[in-house]
Protein backbone atom coordinates (compact mmCIF):
# COMPACT_ATOMS: atom_id res chain seq x y z
CA UNK A 1 0.00 0.00 0.00
CA UNK A 2 1.40 3.41 -0.94
CA UNK A 3 2.05 5.50 2.09
CA UNK A 4 1.10 9.03 1.06
CA UNK A 5 0.51 11.52 3.82
CA UNK A 6 -3.12 12.14 4.60
CA UNK A 7 -4.18 15.42 3.01
CA UNK A 8 -4.80 18.19 5.51
CA UNK A 9 -8.31 18.45 4.19
CA UNK A 10 -10.43 16.26 1.99
CA UNK A 11 -12.46 18.51 -0.25
CA UNK A 12 -15.44 17.24 -2.17
CA UNK A 13 -17.35 18.57 -5.13
CA UNK A 14 -20.85 17.36 -4.27
CA UNK A 15 -23.78 17.25 -6.70
CA UNK A 16 -27.40 17.87 -5.77
CA UNK A 17 -29.36 15.14 -4.03
CA UNK A 18 -31.31 12.91 -6.38
CA UNK A 19 -34.16 10.66 -5.25
CA UNK A 20 -33.97 7.04 -6.44
CA UNK A 21 -37.40 5.42 -6.67
CA UNK A 22 -38.34 1.75 -7.12
CA UNK A 23 -38.14 0.75 -10.82
CA UNK A 24 -41.66 -0.74 -10.68
CA UNK A 25 -44.84 0.11 -8.71
CA UNK A 26 -44.67 -1.18 -5.10
CA UNK A 27 -47.34 -1.83 -2.44
CA UNK A 28 -48.66 1.26 -0.66
CA UNK A 29 -49.45 0.61 3.01
CA UNK A 30 -48.17 1.19 6.55
CA UNK A 31 -46.10 -1.57 8.14
CA UNK A 32 -45.53 -2.08 11.86
CA UNK A 33 -42.13 -2.88 13.34
CA UNK A 34 -41.23 -5.49 15.97
CA UNK A 35 -40.55 -4.89 19.66
CA UNK A 36 -36.79 -5.23 19.08
CA UNK A 37 -37.02 -2.73 16.19
CA UNK A 38 -38.80 -0.34 18.58
CA UNK A 39 -35.96 -0.28 21.13
CA UNK A 40 -35.32 3.50 21.45
CA UNK A 41 -31.56 2.85 21.84
CA UNK A 42 -31.33 1.74 18.21
CA UNK A 43 -33.47 4.50 16.69
CA UNK A 44 -30.48 5.93 14.82
CA UNK A 45 -29.19 6.05 11.27
CA UNK A 46 -26.17 3.74 11.09
CA UNK A 47 -23.65 4.97 8.53
CA UNK A 48 -21.17 2.52 7.00
CA UNK A 49 -18.57 3.13 4.29
CA UNK A 50 -17.51 0.48 1.77
CA UNK A 51 -14.16 1.19 0.07
CA UNK A 52 -13.47 0.02 -3.52
CA UNK A 53 -10.21 0.21 -5.45
CA UNK A 54 -10.18 1.25 -9.11
CA UNK A 55 -10.84 -1.47 -11.67
CA UNK A 56 -7.40 -1.64 -13.29
CA UNK A 57 -8.30 -4.69 -15.41
CA UNK A 58 -10.41 -2.64 -17.82
CA UNK A 59 -9.56 1.04 -17.33
CA UNK A 60 -10.89 1.97 -20.79
CA UNK A 61 -14.21 0.31 -20.18
CA UNK A 62 -14.74 1.96 -16.80
CA UNK A 63 -18.39 2.21 -15.86
CA UNK A 64 -19.52 4.99 -13.57
CA UNK A 65 -20.12 3.42 -10.13
CA UNK A 66 -22.82 6.00 -9.31
CA UNK A 67 -24.85 5.12 -12.39
CA UNK A 68 -24.44 1.38 -11.81
CA UNK A 69 -25.53 1.73 -8.16
CA UNK A 70 -28.48 4.03 -8.82
CA UNK A 71 -29.84 1.56 -11.36
CA UNK A 72 -29.28 -1.40 -8.99
CA UNK A 73 -30.83 0.50 -6.08
CA UNK A 74 -33.92 1.25 -8.14
CA UNK A 75 -34.31 -2.50 -8.82
CA UNK A 76 -33.50 -3.51 -5.20
CA UNK A 77 -36.23 -1.18 -3.90
CA UNK A 78 -38.83 -3.26 -5.70
CA UNK A 79 -37.97 -6.12 -3.32
CA UNK A 80 -37.07 -3.94 -0.31
CA UNK A 81 -39.83 -1.41 -0.93
CA UNK A 82 -40.25 -0.40 2.77
CA UNK A 83 -36.77 1.19 2.51
CA UNK A 84 -38.16 3.60 -0.11
CA UNK A 85 -40.79 4.80 2.39
CA UNK A 86 -40.66 7.01 5.49
CA UNK A 87 -40.38 6.14 9.17
CA UNK A 88 -43.48 7.19 11.05
CA UNK A 89 -44.56 7.22 14.71
CA UNK A 90 -47.99 5.86 15.68
CA UNK A 91 -50.19 7.49 18.34
CA UNK A 92 -48.92 4.96 20.93
CA UNK A 93 -45.30 5.98 20.30
CA UNK A 94 -44.39 2.86 18.30
CA UNK A 95 -42.51 3.12 15.02
CA UNK A 96 -43.75 2.02 11.64
CA UNK A 97 -42.97 2.56 7.97
CA UNK A 98 -45.22 4.41 5.58
CA UNK A 99 -44.53 2.49 2.37
CA UNK A 100 -45.23 5.31 -0.07
CA UNK A 101 -42.49 4.67 -2.65
CA UNK A 102 -41.09 8.19 -2.07
CA UNK A 103 -37.58 6.89 -2.79
CA UNK A 104 -34.07 7.04 -1.38
CA UNK A 105 -31.93 10.23 -1.21
CA UNK A 106 -28.71 9.67 -3.19
CA UNK A 107 -25.65 11.94 -3.30
CA UNK A 108 -22.68 11.88 -5.68
CA UNK A 109 -19.36 13.59 -4.97
CA UNK A 110 -15.88 13.87 -6.48
CA UNK A 111 -12.85 14.00 -4.18
CA UNK A 112 -9.64 16.02 -4.64
CA UNK A 113 -7.26 13.13 -3.87
CA UNK A 114 -6.50 9.46 -4.36
CA UNK A 115 -7.87 6.82 -1.98
CA UNK A 116 -4.31 5.72 -1.16
CA UNK A 117 -3.65 9.15 0.41
CA UNK A 118 -6.43 8.32 2.89
CA UNK A 119 -4.92 4.84 3.46
CA UNK A 120 -8.20 3.42 2.10
CA UNK A 121 -9.80 4.71 5.32
CA UNK A 122 -7.79 2.36 7.50
CA UNK A 123 -7.55 3.75 11.02
CA UNK A 124 -10.86 5.64 10.72
CA UNK A 125 -10.23 9.36 10.64
CA UNK A 126 -13.71 10.35 11.83
CA UNK A 127 -13.95 13.89 10.33
CA UNK A 128 -12.94 12.45 6.94
CA UNK A 129 -15.31 9.48 7.25
CA UNK A 130 -18.18 11.83 8.09
CA UNK A 131 -17.65 13.65 4.77
CA UNK A 132 -18.11 10.38 2.89
CA UNK A 133 -21.61 9.64 4.16
CA UNK A 134 -24.92 11.39 3.58
CA UNK A 135 -25.03 14.52 5.73
CA UNK A 136 -27.15 14.13 8.82
CA UNK A 137 -27.98 17.68 10.00
CA UNK A 138 -27.46 16.76 13.65
CA UNK A 139 -26.03 13.64 15.23
CA UNK A 140 -28.94 13.72 17.68
CA UNK A 141 -31.50 13.51 14.90
CA UNK A 142 -32.82 10.37 13.35
CA UNK A 143 -33.63 10.46 9.66
CA UNK A 144 -37.22 10.00 8.45
CA UNK A 145 -35.63 8.16 5.50
CA UNK A 146 -34.74 4.59 6.50
CA UNK A 147 -32.05 4.53 3.77
CA UNK A 148 -29.65 7.11 2.29
CA UNK A 149 -26.60 6.80 0.00
CA UNK A 150 -23.50 8.76 -0.94
CA UNK A 151 -21.00 7.66 -3.60
CA UNK A 152 -17.66 9.51 -3.65
CA UNK A 153 -15.28 9.06 -6.59
CA UNK A 154 -11.52 9.58 -6.13
CA UNK A 155 -8.83 10.66 -8.62
CA UNK A 156 -7.42 7.11 -8.79
CA UNK A 157 -10.70 5.68 -10.07
CA UNK A 158 -11.51 4.12 -6.71
CA UNK A 159 -14.63 5.14 -4.81
CA UNK A 160 -16.50 4.81 -1.54
CA UNK A 161 -20.13 3.92 -0.96
CA UNK A 162 -21.57 5.47 2.18
CA UNK A 163 -24.77 3.68 3.19
CA UNK A 164 -26.95 5.03 5.96
CA UNK A 165 -29.57 2.57 7.17
CA UNK A 166 -32.00 2.94 10.07
CA UNK A 167 -31.10 0.48 12.83
CA UNK A 168 -34.81 0.44 13.71
CA UNK A 169 -35.46 -1.28 10.38
CA UNK A 170 -32.42 -3.60 9.97
CA UNK A 171 -29.77 -5.13 12.19
CA UNK A 172 -26.28 -6.02 10.91
CA UNK A 173 -27.47 -9.21 9.23
CA UNK A 174 -30.37 -7.37 7.61
CA UNK A 175 -28.09 -4.56 6.38
CA UNK A 176 -25.62 -7.10 5.01
CA UNK A 177 -28.44 -8.98 3.25
CA UNK A 178 -29.73 -5.78 1.63
CA UNK A 179 -26.25 -4.65 0.56
CA UNK A 180 -25.53 -8.05 -0.99
CA UNK A 181 -28.83 -7.87 -2.92
CA UNK A 182 -27.87 -4.41 -4.18
CA UNK A 183 -24.45 -5.62 -5.37
CA UNK A 184 -25.95 -8.74 -6.99
CA UNK A 185 -28.34 -6.57 -9.01
CA UNK A 186 -25.45 -4.22 -9.90
CA UNK A 187 -23.50 -7.22 -11.21
CA UNK A 188 -26.29 -8.02 -13.68
CA UNK A 189 -28.46 -10.56 -11.80
CA UNK A 190 -32.20 -10.29 -12.43
CA UNK A 191 -33.19 -10.74 -8.79
CA UNK A 192 -31.55 -11.09 -5.37
CA UNK A 193 -30.51 -14.65 -4.47
CA UNK A 194 -32.25 -14.21 -1.10
CA UNK A 195 -35.74 -12.68 -1.11
CA UNK A 196 -36.55 -10.31 1.77
CA UNK A 197 -39.13 -11.32 4.38
CA UNK A 198 -40.95 -8.80 6.65
CA UNK A 199 -42.83 -10.86 9.34
CA UNK A 200 -42.05 -8.38 12.15
CA UNK A 201 -45.09 -9.67 14.07
CA UNK A 202 -42.97 -12.73 15.00
CA UNK A 203 -41.02 -10.62 17.50
CA UNK A 204 -43.68 -8.69 19.41
CA UNK A 205 -43.40 -8.72 23.20
CA UNK A 206 -45.86 -8.31 26.07
CA UNK A 207 -45.55 -5.90 28.99
CA UNK A 208 -44.29 -7.60 32.15
CA UNK A 209 -46.46 -7.16 35.25
CA UNK A 210 -43.66 -7.12 37.82
CA UNK A 211 -41.71 -3.88 38.39
CA UNK A 212 -38.77 -3.37 36.06
CA UNK A 213 -35.27 -3.63 37.53
CA UNK A 214 -32.03 -2.73 35.78
CA UNK A 215 -29.31 -5.40 35.79
CA UNK A 216 -27.22 -2.99 37.83
CA UNK A 217 -28.89 -0.82 40.42
CA UNK A 218 -28.30 2.83 39.51
CA UNK A 219 -26.68 3.49 42.89
CA UNK A 220 -24.08 0.73 42.44
CA UNK A 221 -23.08 1.33 38.82
CA UNK A 222 -19.37 2.10 38.49
CA UNK A 223 -18.39 5.72 37.85
CA UNK A 224 -15.46 7.25 36.00
CA UNK A 225 -13.64 10.54 36.62
CA UNK A 226 -13.59 10.92 32.81
CA UNK A 227 -17.36 10.73 32.31
CA UNK A 228 -19.51 12.63 31.51
CA UNK A 229 -17.38 14.62 29.06
CA UNK A 230 -17.77 16.56 25.83
CA UNK A 231 -14.71 15.31 23.94
CA UNK A 232 -14.86 11.74 22.70
CA UNK A 233 -12.10 9.89 20.82
CA UNK A 234 -12.93 7.19 18.28
CA UNK A 235 -10.18 4.66 17.54
CA UNK A 236 -9.80 1.42 15.63
CA UNK A 237 -7.15 -1.10 16.76
CA UNK A 238 -5.96 -3.93 14.51
CA UNK A 239 -4.82 -7.28 15.89
CA UNK A 240 -3.37 -9.98 13.67
CA UNK A 241 -4.08 -13.67 14.10
CA UNK A 242 -0.76 -14.19 15.92
CA UNK A 243 -1.45 -11.79 18.79
CA UNK A 244 -4.92 -13.31 19.31
CA UNK A 245 -3.39 -16.81 19.28
CA UNK A 246 -0.84 -15.73 21.92
CA UNK A 247 -3.60 -14.34 24.14
CA UNK A 248 -5.54 -17.63 23.89
CA UNK A 249 -2.39 -19.64 24.71
CA UNK A 250 -1.63 -17.40 27.67
CA UNK A 251 -5.15 -17.91 29.03
CA UNK A 252 -4.95 -21.68 28.54
CA UNK A 253 -1.69 -21.68 30.48
CA UNK A 254 -3.20 -19.46 33.17
CA UNK A 255 -6.17 -21.80 33.60
CA UNK A 256 -3.95 -24.84 34.25
CA UNK A 257 -6.06 -27.96 33.82
CA UNK A 258 -9.35 -26.17 34.37
CA UNK A 259 -10.03 -25.54 30.70
CA UNK A 260 -8.24 -28.39 28.97
CA UNK A 261 -11.44 -29.73 27.38
CA UNK A 262 -12.68 -26.35 26.29
CA UNK A 263 -11.46 -23.86 23.75
CA UNK A 264 -11.68 -20.08 23.86
CA UNK A 265 -13.10 -18.20 20.89
CA UNK A 266 -11.62 -14.91 19.70
CA UNK A 267 -14.84 -13.16 20.74
CA UNK A 268 -14.59 -14.48 24.31
CA UNK A 269 -10.87 -13.85 24.83
CA UNK A 270 -10.62 -10.48 23.14
CA UNK A 271 -13.99 -9.44 24.60
CA UNK A 272 -12.72 -10.12 28.13
CA UNK A 273 -9.42 -8.34 27.46
CA UNK A 274 -11.12 -5.24 25.99
CA UNK A 275 -13.67 -5.13 28.86
CA UNK A 276 -10.90 -5.14 31.46
CA UNK A 277 -8.80 -2.64 29.48
CA UNK A 278 -11.73 -0.27 29.23
CA UNK A 279 -12.40 -0.46 32.98
CA UNK A 280 -8.73 0.36 33.64
CA UNK A 281 -8.63 3.19 31.11
CA UNK A 282 -11.76 4.79 32.57
CA UNK A 283 -10.49 4.29 36.15
CA UNK A 284 -13.87 2.85 37.15
CA UNK A 285 -14.27 2.78 40.94
CA UNK A 286 -13.37 -0.60 42.44
CA UNK A 287 -16.58 -1.17 44.40
CA UNK A 288 -18.85 -0.19 41.49
CA UNK A 289 -20.44 -2.69 39.09
CA UNK A 290 -19.64 -3.04 35.40
CA UNK A 291 -21.60 -4.79 32.65
CA UNK A 292 -20.47 -6.84 29.66
CA UNK A 293 -23.32 -6.97 27.15
CA UNK A 294 -23.05 -9.13 24.04
CA UNK A 295 -25.52 -8.80 21.14
CA UNK A 296 -26.44 -12.32 20.00
CA UNK A 297 -28.38 -13.05 16.80
CA UNK A 298 -31.39 -15.31 17.35
CA UNK A 299 -32.60 -15.94 13.77
CA UNK A 300 -31.72 -19.65 13.94
CA UNK A 301 -32.19 -20.03 17.70
CA UNK A 302 -35.92 -19.30 17.70
CA UNK A 303 -38.28 -22.23 17.50
CA UNK A 304 -39.45 -22.17 14.75
CA UNK A 305 -36.50 -20.22 13.29
CA UNK A 306 -37.07 -16.95 11.45
CA UNK A 307 -37.23 -17.23 7.64
CA UNK A 308 -33.86 -16.85 5.90
CA UNK A 309 -34.72 -13.53 4.27
CA UNK A 310 -35.79 -11.81 7.53
CA UNK A 311 -34.02 -8.46 7.61
CA UNK A 312 -35.33 -6.87 10.81
CA UNK A 313 -33.59 -6.74 14.17
CA UNK A 314 -33.26 -10.25 15.55
CA UNK A 315 -30.82 -10.16 18.45
CA UNK A 316 -30.96 -10.17 22.24
CA UNK A 317 -28.44 -9.18 24.89
CA UNK A 318 -26.48 -11.70 26.94
CA UNK A 319 -24.95 -10.08 30.00
CA UNK A 320 -22.25 -10.55 32.62
CA UNK A 321 -22.13 -8.24 35.66
CA UNK A 322 -19.01 -7.96 37.80
CA UNK A 323 -17.65 -5.66 40.47
CA UNK A 324 -14.80 -3.64 38.93
CA UNK A 325 -12.46 -5.05 41.59
CA UNK A 326 -13.30 -8.61 40.46
CA UNK A 327 -12.90 -7.75 36.78
CA UNK A 328 -9.44 -6.32 37.47
CA UNK A 329 -8.24 -8.98 39.90
CA UNK A 330 -9.75 -12.28 38.74
CA UNK A 331 -7.55 -14.31 36.39
CA UNK A 332 -8.66 -13.28 32.90
CA UNK A 333 -9.58 -16.86 31.93
CA UNK A 334 -12.32 -16.76 34.61
CA UNK A 335 -13.81 -13.66 32.96
CA UNK A 336 -13.62 -15.51 29.63
CA UNK A 337 -15.53 -18.44 31.17
CA UNK A 338 -18.30 -16.08 32.33
CA UNK A 339 -18.60 -14.66 28.81
CA UNK A 340 -18.63 -18.21 27.39
CA UNK A 341 -21.50 -19.10 29.74
CA UNK A 342 -23.52 -15.96 28.97
CA UNK A 343 -23.43 -16.83 25.25
CA UNK A 344 -25.51 -19.95 26.01
CA UNK A 345 -28.43 -18.00 27.52
CA UNK A 346 -30.31 -17.38 24.23
CA UNK A 347 -30.26 -21.12 23.46
CA UNK A 348 -33.35 -21.10 25.69
CA UNK A 349 -36.41 -19.71 23.86
CA UNK A 350 -37.89 -18.55 27.19
CA UNK A 351 -34.84 -16.32 27.67
CA UNK A 352 -35.37 -14.76 24.22
CA UNK A 353 -39.09 -14.20 24.92
CA UNK A 354 -38.29 -12.63 28.28
CA UNK A 355 -35.73 -10.26 26.67
CA UNK A 356 -38.34 -9.14 24.13
CA UNK A 357 -40.95 -8.67 26.88
CA UNK A 358 -38.45 -6.60 28.87
CA UNK A 359 -37.86 -4.36 25.83
CA UNK A 360 -41.63 -3.89 25.47
CA UNK A 361 -41.90 -3.04 29.18
CA UNK A 362 -39.05 -0.51 28.93
CA UNK A 363 -40.57 1.09 25.84
CA UNK A 364 -43.97 1.45 27.48
CA UNK A 365 -42.40 2.83 30.65
CA UNK A 366 -40.19 5.18 28.57
CA UNK A 367 -37.13 3.67 30.32
CA UNK A 368 -34.00 4.38 28.27
CA UNK A 369 -30.48 3.10 28.90
CA UNK A 370 -28.03 5.99 29.21
CA UNK A 371 -24.35 5.70 28.32
CA UNK A 372 -22.19 5.59 31.44
CA UNK A 373 -18.85 4.10 30.42
CA UNK A 374 -19.49 1.33 32.95
CA UNK A 375 -20.82 -1.01 30.24
CA UNK A 376 -19.21 -2.65 27.25
CA UNK A 377 -21.87 -3.33 24.61
CA UNK A 378 -20.17 -5.60 22.07
CA UNK A 379 -21.35 -6.28 18.52
CA UNK A 380 -19.40 -8.67 16.31
CA UNK A 381 -19.47 -7.81 12.60
CA UNK A 382 -17.05 -10.53 11.54
CA UNK A 383 -19.81 -13.06 10.82
CA UNK A 384 -21.80 -10.77 8.52
CA UNK A 385 -19.74 -11.51 5.37
CA UNK A 386 -19.55 -7.76 4.79
CA UNK A 387 -16.29 -7.97 2.84
CA UNK A 388 -17.32 -10.95 0.71
CA UNK A 389 -19.67 -9.47 -1.80
CA UNK A 390 -20.37 -10.22 -5.43
CA UNK A 391 -18.01 -8.54 -7.90
CA UNK A 392 -19.97 -5.85 -9.74
CA UNK A 393 -17.02 -4.57 -11.73
CA UNK A 394 -14.65 -3.54 -8.94
CA UNK A 395 -14.00 -6.83 -7.12
CA UNK A 396 -14.84 -7.00 -3.40
CA UNK A 397 -14.59 -3.91 -1.26
CA UNK A 398 -11.14 -3.70 0.38
CA UNK A 399 -12.36 -2.08 3.59
CA UNK A 400 -15.51 -1.40 5.57
CA UNK A 401 -15.68 1.42 8.08
CA UNK A 402 -18.45 2.28 10.53
CA UNK A 403 -18.94 5.99 11.16
CA UNK A 404 -19.35 6.36 14.96
CA UNK A 405 -22.94 5.84 16.07
CA UNK A 406 -24.48 7.89 18.83
CA UNK A 407 -25.74 4.85 20.70
CA UNK A 408 -25.44 4.89 24.51
CA UNK A 409 -23.69 8.26 24.20
CA UNK A 410 -21.01 6.55 22.02
CA UNK A 411 -18.94 5.41 25.04
CA UNK A 412 -20.46 2.00 25.76
CA UNK A 413 -20.40 0.60 22.23
CA UNK A 414 -17.60 -1.62 20.89
CA UNK A 415 -17.47 -3.24 17.45
CA UNK A 416 -15.36 -6.20 16.33
CA UNK A 417 -14.75 -5.74 12.61
CA UNK A 418 -13.25 -8.03 9.96
CA UNK A 419 -9.69 -7.04 8.93
CA UNK A 420 -9.31 -4.99 5.77
CA UNK A 421 -8.11 -6.73 2.60
CA UNK A 422 -5.04 -4.52 2.10
CA UNK A 423 -2.66 -6.13 4.56
CA UNK A 424 -2.12 -9.90 4.06
CA UNK A 425 -0.63 -10.21 7.57
CA UNK A 426 -4.06 -9.30 9.01
CA UNK A 427 -5.71 -12.49 7.71
CA UNK A 428 -7.52 -14.09 10.64
CA UNK A 429 -7.20 -10.86 12.58
CA UNK A 430 -9.74 -8.51 14.13
CA UNK A 431 -10.22 -4.76 14.27
CA UNK A 432 -11.60 -3.37 17.52
CA UNK A 433 -13.51 -0.09 17.20
CA UNK A 434 -14.15 1.88 20.39
CA UNK A 435 -15.27 5.37 21.42
CA UNK A 436 -14.03 6.66 24.78
CA UNK A 437 -13.68 9.96 26.65
CA UNK A 438 -10.62 11.62 25.08
CA UNK A 439 -8.59 11.72 28.31
CA UNK A 440 -9.00 7.97 28.91
CA UNK A 441 -7.90 6.90 25.42
CA UNK A 442 -4.08 6.99 26.04
CA UNK A 443 -4.37 4.34 28.78
CA UNK A 444 -6.65 2.21 26.60
CA UNK A 445 -4.13 2.46 23.72
CA UNK A 446 -1.39 1.33 26.10
CA UNK A 447 -3.44 -1.78 26.98
CA UNK A 448 -4.02 -2.52 23.29
CA UNK A 449 -0.33 -2.10 22.46
CA UNK A 450 0.60 -4.45 25.29
CA UNK A 451 -1.58 -7.15 23.72
CA UNK A 452 0.33 -6.84 20.43
CA UNK A 453 3.73 -7.44 22.06
CA UNK A 454 2.68 -9.75 24.88
CA UNK A 455 4.70 -12.94 25.35
CA UNK A 456 2.96 -16.15 26.40
CA UNK A 457 5.22 -16.74 29.38
CA UNK A 458 4.88 -13.23 30.84
CA UNK A 459 3.16 -12.73 34.15
CA UNK A 460 -0.14 -10.93 34.17
CA UNK A 461 0.26 -7.19 34.10
Active site residues per annotation: 167, 391
450-459 CB contacts, 8 Å cutoff, 24+ apart: 451/239, 451/243, 451/247, 451/273, 452/239, 452/243, 454/243, 454/246, 454/247, 454/250, 455/246, 456/246, 456/249, 456/250, 456/253, 457/253, 458/250
Q: Alpha-carbon Rg of the chain, whole angstroms?
A: 22
Distance CA 395, CA 231 (A): 38
Q: How many CB atoms lie within 10 A of CB 191?
A: 13
Cβ neighbours of residue 459 under 8 Å, at least 6 residues apart? none
Start-end of H helices in 307-348: 324-329, 332-342
Q: Are 75 and 183 in contact (CB under 8 A)?
A: no
Contact of 149 with 163, CB cutoff 8 Å: yes
Non-local CB neighbours of 383 within 8 Å, separated by 6+ positions: none
The span from the CA of 274 to the CA of 258, in Å, is 23
CA dist 27 and 21 (Å) reads 13
Contact 170, 311 (CB under 8 A): yes
Amino acid sequence: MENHKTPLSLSLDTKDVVIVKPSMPTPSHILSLSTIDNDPNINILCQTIYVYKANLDSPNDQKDPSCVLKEALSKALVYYYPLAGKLTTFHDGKLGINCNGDGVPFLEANANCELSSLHYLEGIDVPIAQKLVFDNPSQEQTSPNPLVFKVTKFLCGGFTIGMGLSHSVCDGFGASQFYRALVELASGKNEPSLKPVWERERLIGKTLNEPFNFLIDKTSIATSPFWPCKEISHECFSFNGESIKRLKMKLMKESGNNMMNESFTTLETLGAYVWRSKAKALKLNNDGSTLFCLAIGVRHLLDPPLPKGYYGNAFVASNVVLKVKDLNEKPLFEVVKLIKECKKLPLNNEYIKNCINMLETMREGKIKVEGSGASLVLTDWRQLALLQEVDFGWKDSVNIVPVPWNMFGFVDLCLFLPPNKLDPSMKGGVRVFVSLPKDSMPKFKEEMEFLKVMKVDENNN
